[in-house]
Structure 1
Amino acid sequence: MSSVIGVDIGGTQMRAARFNSGLEMIERASRPTLGEQGVDSIVARLIELIEQVAPEDPSELAGIGVGAPGPLDPDAGIIRTPPNIPFHHTPLVDILHDALHVPVLLDNDANLAALAEHRLGAGQGTQNMVYLTLSTGLGSGLILNGELYRGRGQAGEAGFTIIAADHPASGPEQHGYAEFVASGTAIARRATEAVQAGKQTTLAELDTITGEDVANAAEAGDPVAQTIIRETGRYAGILIASLSMLLQPDCFVLGGSVTQIGDRLFEPMHEALREFAIDPVFYEGIDIRQAALGDDVGLYGAAALALGYGG
């Protein structure tokens, strides 16, 4: 029976899973990304990971779909310069094809998550949907008129929308990008900066601070952590307001680890949406939904790409 493999390359973890033609998961595996070890190490371990879930009979594998952070060129099969993984114009499709001898397709991880949520998850039944993933970085995918929208190949990079150009910590390399102020990495960075500035917070007891640490501290009543989470939600709301006025979708579907924070994040997000949208038509009736497919969304999307659902 023919099967495909979906691969999800993230800033902290790489995952692969084998699916049948009905998008039912058969087998899965994961490994840490370990970006600090360099591109060659990442690629070698990625090939080993794919081989781990591949069928014993190579003729049963019809293809591989790969989702990775942008910017990338899906037509050329090249990962350009993602901010959290040290790829630099890496021809990943050619590398994997040469190693594994099966068709390989590449697309932005958030595009594939949007595809999966639209077909199988929270966006089912909509014609116009924006998917946002708030995790290590901030990515997005657009479903317009029922189809995944890529523009000339790289459309949908909402994480690089400029929403905070005057942010005090925004240097020339960040330009106030949404990802710089509304991602898990941003949460951890602002908490570290607060500790270094001498602010009174329980986070000062930690050697290394993660976004999850900040969320837990906020839940426990730490005022510094609560402020950071509220600011993050506000910036996400500014981004949603901008996208709503540009696209006026039926719904926004939000995924990624940061969205698990819950109301502390979503309340300031909704407040900012109402504050920055120029007219109620851009927030009334706009449905903001949490993603339904959880951590597996990238795997399902990559498998759907391999099966030809990506257009």
Structure 2
Amino acid sequence: MLAGIDLGGTQVRVALARSDGKLVASVKTKTPSLKTPQGLVDWAATEIERLRGNQKVTSIAIGAPGPIDVKRGVLVNPPNLPWKNVPLTEMLSRATKAKVFLANDADMAGLGEFHHGAGRGTRNMIYITWSTGVGGGLIIGGRLHRGGHGTAGEIGHMIIDPNGPLDSCGQYGCLEVFCGGANLAKQTGHPAAELFAAAGRGDPNARMVVARSARHMGLALISLTNAIDPEMFVMGGGVTRSWRLVAPTMLETLRSSPFIKPARRPRLRRARLGDRAGQVGAVEWARINQ
């Protein structure tokens, strides 16, 4: 059997699947209730043991927020968890006697959407998660592309305007500065959820902020199209709950590029798997690496 774990700052999910990747069971809990990395490992190992029955779990993949060291299997310093330099793969492998692989959470969500969601049928797809921050996963030639150091897909740190505001990463004018929910909240003094809700009700100031944010995302789509030539963008994350507000502006911006002719213009789709994308992708990564 296979197991996939989706580790987030709010919730952690464990899914078990057959060796062909078909999910058979899943469970979740609140991340803060686990308190420590050892608490996470103990809970995950216990649930895997409970759900596997008399079957042996041979391969486990964990999708976790970056920064991570995929080669060493270390959770370095995630912004939404109070943990540093955690050797997660070693700890979980010791507890489960299975092979364990650590990967970026956006990569896993993208892999899930590619195999089982909105990206099915494509060979070259870019997944973008747009929520508190902005991240992504690249599927090139039907395979997850992680780059030379496992950090490919950091879409939120593409520079959109070098004269723009300073980002927490140290660069000026990153996409995340203009689009990330946390930055929008700082700039407007209102939580991003309230901002998008107000825009949905027709508030002119909120609509202006949301439209500007969607235009910047559209500019990123242009650059990504020219660099990678995907067939499709699949977008997930909290902002996609306001899809009708942001999608038309993103598409209009993408279509405004005279260099990207209609024949090679990628489609833009909303993610289908919702909160399940990460665990589905993690199971797929466990299957690929088993």
Do they superpose with TM above 0.5?
yes
Over 3 Å counting, the alpha-carbon distance change for 1:80 and 1:188 in structure 2 is same
3-state SS of paired residue (1:29): strand
Which string of whole-angstrom CA distances, capped at 9 and with x for unpartnered residues, describes residues 89-147 of structure 1? 43221122233332211111121222222211211221211111112321111111121
Aligned partners of 2:258, 2:66: CA distance in 1, in Å? 30
Over 3 Å counting, the alpha-carbon distance change for 1:125 and 1:91 in structure 2 is same
Q: Residue 299 of structure 1 is aligned with which of 258, 266, 279?
A: 279
Task: Tell me how many residue pairs correspond in the alignment.
Answer: 287
After superposing the two structures, state which structure 1 stretch, 109-118 or 170-179, moved more. Answer: 170-179
* 2:238 is equivalent to residue 238 of structure 1: no
Aligned partners of 2:269, 2:175: CA distance in 1, in Å? 20
Over 3 Å counting, the alpha-carbon distance change for 1:245 and 1:293 in structure 2 is same
- Alignment partner, residue 11 of structure 2: 13
Tell me if structure 1 keeps the 8 A contact 2:229–2:264: no
Q: Residue 186 of structure 1 is aligned with which of 166, 183, 194?
A: 183
Q: Residue 238 of structure 2 is aligned with which of 257, 260, 270?
A: 257
Aligned partners of 2:19, 2:31: CA distance in 1, in Å? 28
Aligned partners of 1:12, 1:176: CA distance in 2, in Å? 28
| Cα distance, 1:160 vs structure 2 | 1.7
After superposing the two structures, state which structure 1 stretch, 66-75 or 79-88, moved more. Answer: 79-88
| Cα distance, 1:246 vs structure 2 | 0.6
Equivalent position amino acid for 2:180 in 1: S
Aligned partners of 1:231, 1:139: CA distance in 2, in Å? 19
* 2:208 is equivalent to residue 227 of structure 1: yes
- Alignment partner, residue 145 of structure 1: 141
Over 3 Å counting, the alpha-carbon distance change for 1:47 and 1:89 in structure 2 is closer
Which string of whole-angstrom CA distances, capped at 9 and with x for unpartnered residues, describes residues 11-68 of structure 1? 333222222334333332333344xx9xx93413422441453133586222321001
Over 3 Å counting, the alpha-carbon distance change for 1:264 and 1:230 in structure 2 is same
Which string of whole-angstrom CA distances, capped at 9 and with x for unpartnered residues, describes residues 153-199 of structure 1? 2222112212233234646735322223222323333332xxxxxxx
Gaps of at least 5 residues in structure 1 are 193-202, 204-208
Tell me if structure 2 keeps the 8 A contact 1:114–1:140: yes
3-state SS of paired residue (1:60): coil
Over 3 Å counting, the alpha-carbon distance change for 1:85 and 1:119 in structure 2 is same
* 2:22 is equivalent to residue 24 of structure 1: yes
Equivalent position amino acid for 2:210 in 1: I
Aligned partners of 1:137, 1:282: CA distance in 2, in Å? 30
- Alignment partner, residue 165 of structure 1: 162
Equivalent position amino acid for 2:4 in 1: G
- Alignment partner, residue 198 of structure 1: none
Aligned partners of 2:133, 2:43: CA distance in 1, in Å? 23
Aligned partners of 2:212, 2:288: CA distance in 1, in Å? 40
Aligned partners of 2:162, 2:9: CA distance in 1, in Å? 25
Over 3 Å counting, the alpha-carbon distance change for 1:238 and 1:285 in structure 2 is closer
Gaps of at least 5 residues in structure 2 are none
Tell me if structure 2 keeps the 8 A contact 1:29–1:49: no
Q: Residue 113 of structure 1 is aligned with which of 109, 114, 121?
A: 109
Over 3 Å counting, the alpha-carbon distance change for 1:97 and 1:303 in structure 2 is same
Equivalent position amino acid for 1:162 in 2: I
3-state SS of paired residue (1:143): strand
| Cα distance, 1:271 vs structure 2 | 2.7
After superposing the two structures, state which structure 1 stretch, 24-33 or 295-304, moved more. Answer: 24-33
Tell me if structure 2 keeps the 8 A contact 1:84–1:137: no
TM-score by length of 2: 0.87
| Cα distance, 1:309 vs structure 2 | 5.7
Aligned partners of 1:5, 1:217: CA distance in 2, in Å? 40
After superposing the two structures, state which structure 1 stretch, 230-239 or 81-90, moved more. Answer: 81-90
- Alignment partner, residue 67 of structure 2: 71
Over 3 Å counting, the alpha-carbon distance change for 1:98 and 1:9 in structure 2 is same
Aligned partners of 1:266, 1:298: CA distance in 2, in Å? 23
CA RMSD of aligned residues (A): 2.7
- Alignment partner, residue 217 of structure 1: 198
